[in-house]
Chains A and B, each alone.
Chain A
């Protein structure tokens, strides 16, 4: 019950969000859709978890910065930001919204 309520909320939000940005199809692309070795511009971090958002910020992972996908392993993505490599899980990868490749 709790779970379905949560996902319902989530869906509604996504729908609304989708409506606003209907014209811009790229807005929905997140890091899990990225191609290996391609460098993208970060368009936004879509999470309610402000602490994580702030933390990513200090690593240089925020809107306007560059991100490169090095490898995709099972549930983990190895990414490159500002000369460092990090392993993140698919949950975190899915909140990193990305734009055009270079």
Chain B
């Protein structure tokens, strides 16, 4: 993580951008003040290497969603700096952030990912349509085939199953070839089979298309699809695991539970 702190000049930022799709330095997020003061992020340094699939895990209230929202330009930081590619997002205004999300970031939410008034295909190309750009047809075809939705492109979201809807959301996130895709519990609402197909697709997009994916999840088996897992607790990154398996992740999470109980003195 030392590289991050050094990467503050323009040249360094450019060099860092080659290696990292996104990174953050001393990210802090504080809600409220006085008695109601809550530190959601506490000086977090983090980086996401290009072509890597990262899972962020942690107990409820650990700050994992806040970290993702701040890195994605959905939420503002109390202090610290964050970059996506070579763009420092902590310096952008609303307009700049909007453009950044549109052009450089892909999103997959837990639910309500699609506009009910648009067909699957229209949903997939929506960010590019908003930007007024023409999609790269060959890439688009590849993405559509990869998610296996060619037959369903003319359907509206209400005519699709939950798994299909999430795959449309994945396709949308990928279609504009963003620097990074943020997924917020993408399988939280799906049964295990549908969830598995979405996760496999995300892994494929990283392995075969060179995408960078950051996924927040609380499901150890979902995390096992990632290349590495970051563990958050109390607004800090407390551990990191490479080549995770579901069992190892589960073990690590159990340790949190015990530590948590010890800390709060419940047992």
- A is bound by B: no
What is the interface of chain B, defined by CB distance below 8 A to chain A?
Answer: none
